Amino acid sequence: MAVAPKRQDTRKFFENLSGEGKSIAVLTSGGDAQGMNGAVRAVVRMGIYVGAKVYFIHEGYQGMVDGGDNIQEATWESVSSMLQVGGTVIGSARCKDFRTREGRLKAAHNLVKLNITNMCVIGGDGSLTGANLFREEWSSLLDELLQQGLIDNEAVVSNSVLHIVGMVGSIDNDFCGTDMTIGTDSALHRIIEVVDAIMTTAQSHQRTFVLEVMGRHCGYLALVSALACGADWVFIPEMPPEDGWEDNMCHKLSENRAERKRLNIIIVAEGAIDSHNKAITPDYIKDLVVSRLGFDTRVTILGHVQRGGTPSAFDRILASRMGVEAVLALLEASATTPACVVSLVGNQAVRLPLMECVQMTQEVQKAMDEKKFDEAVRLRGRSFEHNLATYRLLSYHKADGELPHQNAFNVAVLNVGAPAAGMNGAVRSAVRVGIAEGHRVFAVSDGFEGFYKGQIKEIKWGDVGGWTGQGGSLLGTKRTLPGKHLDKIAEQMRIHNINALLVIGGFEAFESLLQLYEARDHHEEFCVPMCMLPATISNNVPGTDLSIGADTSINAIVEVREQGPVERIQTKENPGAVWI
Ligand code: ADP
């Protein structure tokens, strides 16, 4: 699949681009998703920046078929204050007319009247399939308009090629070829907000919560929210549980309760099924838990809340980057360039052939219909597979007797630097992965200060339960660098027989490991595997695009900005007042 060319000097690259004489239309179609407005805004501003005319098409394909006031030229100001608004300001619709050739003929006529030969479509796989069909039919539609005397020869020549670029707006993250679709991250925020809210009430009463989230065909939201809140069990359409799952689930819930876990969370995707294709409903799960275990159990169905609210910082940034890339794709397209979709691969916006991605997306459903679930998971892509593997790994509590202890390492884990949201989730994963691999994990409190003072204790699987949702650093973190205490740290490593070190933190964590590395000549205790995991809201650790905590802090800034009046606050970190 083709990817966007690498650009050395972005500014120079943009300066050489010209959209003079081109007209670009932008529309949103199908189900709405938070962040769609960010994509519309980026298309408008990038289009205007390169000198093109940009048109809004209101109400999706219906507006294109109906024409008239539905198609309006956009200005730079017309997209002001739109980035932070949920849903889609220019309207979206499901349009029966566009499914017919007659409807598409009217739509083509409306575009030709304004010499629009470039289109950005923001929608799901249905909308993008429609867009591709429209492009394939374009020359025959122009011929028909010519025959009917609705356009002249000159119009046929000057509008001979229609360029299409798609961006996927869908909260389900159900489109193959992209790691994230616009709207998914915001929907996850809504789900986690609800989980956080019910966690407080559930913990006071020892409850079990069964939470239904969207995803009739795709279990991404359920899977990732289960990962994010450390749910006890998750049901997704791609992974129907084996027969006897009722016994296994109840066993696990009672085991967790026996470990004094006061709260159980079960997440169910709307489309969850068992291996006989029978729906697994939240009520069925609730009745099961109540009748078998007698636990106080509540059902929460999130529904449209997941589409609501303001877009997350990630969705705003994703949509903005995709919108810019979409305009670049249109400017660079030739008559033979296939319609493309702008995707996110890793942290890069890339262009992929639209129809290949649509076909792959349809193949996932086919694989599921044929009960080839492993194939469906593989087709969903790398990120889905990784999430599933991580959830399985972190949620399965092996009894001590089941663990391999041969060649076990003693791994010390500590936080260094300022606290960052997500540090606790990282410690939890490290502890559990370490234990699952047969190693012993030692928690160090208060960073290297705690290390040289000997604040080191073995940490077990259950000790990190519930850590994903907690901010700050539960281990305790300090900025102290190890440099002045190397002898004492080496001594503690000897005492506890530490033969691997994981430091989770910011730039100080990075510097700390450098100091230990440079001291290897004098302290053989430091000649062990050492690794740092960047966790800092400043996102200033070399070698990574993103550090743990950076996304949460950007969201906090975005929320504060929207809460209106500027005020002065003091934090523990910054005793001097800070303007926010
Ligand atoms: P989504 O884009 O979110 O998948 P839909 O599948 O409902 O949502 O598609 C949105 C609109 O896209 C439809 O109402 C229709 O106008 C258009 N569309 C979808 N599929 C096709 C198709 N095969 N041919 C033409 N138009 C289509």
Q: Is residue 385 part of a domain?
A: no
Q: Which residue has the tokens 């360029």?
A: 163
Q: Is residue 402 part of a domain?
A: no
Q: Which residue has the tokens 């409850």?
A: 207
Q: Is residue 357 part of a domain?
A: yes
Q: Could you report how far apart the first and last alpha carbons of the chain are, in Å?
A: 44
Q: Is residue 374 part of a domain?
A: no
Average pLDDT over residues 110-121: 98
| Ligand 1: centre distance to CA 44 (Å) | 23
Same domain as 177, residue 98 = yes
Same domain as 483, residue 418 = yes
| Ligand 1: centre distance to CA 353 (Å) | 18
Same domain as 177, residue 84 = yes
CATH number of the domain within which 542 lies = 3.40.50.450
Kindly give the number of the ligand 1 atom that is closest to the alpha carbon of 128: 2
Query: What pLDDT is stored for residue 230 in this prediction?
Result: 86
- In the annotation, is 32 catalytic? no
User: Following DSSP, what letter does each residue of 122-141 receive, concatenated?
Assistant: EE-HHHHHHHHHHHHHHHHH
CA 331 to chain centre: 28
Same domain as 83, residue 207 = no
Kindly give the number of the ligand 1 atom that is closest to the alpha carbon of 134: 25
Q: Atom 1 in ligand 1: which residue has the minimum CA distance?
A: 124
Q: Is residue 259 part of a domain?
A: yes
Among 27, 94, 101, which residue has the most ligand 1 atoms within 8 Å of its CB, making it the best to mutate? Answer: 94
Same domain as 87, residue 167 = yes
Give the pLDDT confidence of 397-424 residue by residue, as tens digits.
Answer: 665 555 556 668 999 999 999 999 999 9
Average pLDDT over residues 460-468: 89
Phi/psi region, residue 206 (left: phi>0; alpha: psi -120 to 50; beta: rest), is: left
SS3 243: coil
Q: How far is Cα 9 from Cα 491, in angstroms, rounded to an integer?
A: 50
Closest C-alpha to 269, from 305, 230, 224, 229? 224
Closest C-alpha to 522, from 546, 487, 559? 487
Closest C-alpha to 265, from 391, 422, 373, 172? 391
Same domain as 16, residue 144 = yes
Residue 344, both tokens: 């996110």
Catalytic residue, candidates 66, 125, 172, 232:
172
* The pLDDT of residue 85 is above 50: yes
Closest C-alpha to 107, from 132, 134, 140? 134
CA 201 to chain centre: 27
Average pLDDT over residues 283-289: 96
* The pLDDT of residue 473 is above 80: yes
Among 104, 105, 120, 127, which residue has the most ligand 1 atoms within 8 Å of its CB, making it the best to mutate? Answer: 127
Q: Is residue 361 part of a domain?
A: yes
Angle CA(82)–CA(83)–CA(87) in degrees, nearest 5?
Answer: 75
Cβ atoms of 420 and 549 within 8 Å: the answer is yes
Q: Atom 8 in ligand 1: which residue has the minimum CA distance?
A: 30
| Ligand 1: centre distance to CA 123 (Å) | 9
**pLDDT: which is higher, 259 or 44:** 44
Cβ atoms of 381 and 424 within 8 Å: the answer is no
Closest C-alpha to 224, from 43, 468, 46? 468
| Ligand 1: centre distance to CA 404 (Å) | 52
Share of the chain above pLDDT 70, in %: 91
Average pLDDT over residues 253-273: 85
Q: Atom 22 in ligand 1: which residue has the minimum CA distance?
A: 130
Average pLDDT over residues 143-160: 96
Q: Atom 7 in ligand 1: which residue has the minimum CA distance?
A: 30
How many CB atoms lie under 10 A from the CB of residue 370?
10
* The pLDDT of residue 328 is above 90: yes
Same domain as 473, residue 433 = yes
- Provide the number of structural domains found in the chain: 4
CATH number of the domain within which 291 lies = 3.40.50.460
Same domain as 316, residue 171 = yes
Same domain as 541, residue 475 = yes
Same domain as 426, residue 539 = yes
Q: Atom 27 in ligand 1: which residue has the minimum CA distance?
A: 130
Same domain as 146, residue 30 = yes
Average pLDDT over residues 49-63: 97
Q: Which residues line ligand 1 (CB under 6 A)?
A: 29-31, 61, 94-95, 98-99, 123-127, 129-130, 133
Q: Is residue 381 part of a domain?
A: no
Give the pLDDT confidence of 226-257 residue by residue, as tens digits.
Answer: 999 889 999 999 999 999 999 999 998 888 77
Q: Atom 16 in ligand 1: which residue has the minimum CA distance?
A: 95
Query: What pLDDT is stored for residue 387 in this prediction?
Result: 92
pLDDT band at residue 481 using 50, 70 and 90 as cut-offs: very high
SS3 306: helix
For 483-515, b/e burial (b = at least 16 CB within 10 A) is eebbeebbebbeebebbbbbbbbbbbbbbbbeb
Average pLDDT over residues 136-164: 96
| Ligand 1: centre distance to CA 129 (Å) | 7
List, in sequence order, every beta strand (DSSP E) within 79-206. 118-123, 163-168
| Ligand 1: centre distance to CA 93 (Å) | 9
* The pLDDT of residue 2 is above 60: no
Q: Is residue 391 part of a domain?
A: no
Of 306, 334, 358, the residue that ends a domain is: 306
Residue 335, both tokens: 């008559």
- Domain holding 567, by residue range, is 554-580
pLDDT band at residue 198 using 50, 70 and 90 as cut-offs: confident
- 3-state SS of the chain: helix, strand, coil percent to 5? 45, 15, 35
Same domain as 124, residue 175 = yes
Q: How far is Cα 463 from Cα 258, in angstroms, rounded to an integer?
A: 14
Cβ contacts of 524 within 8 Å, gap of 6 or more: none
Q: How far is Cα 226 from Cα 215, in angstroms, rounded to an integer?
A: 13
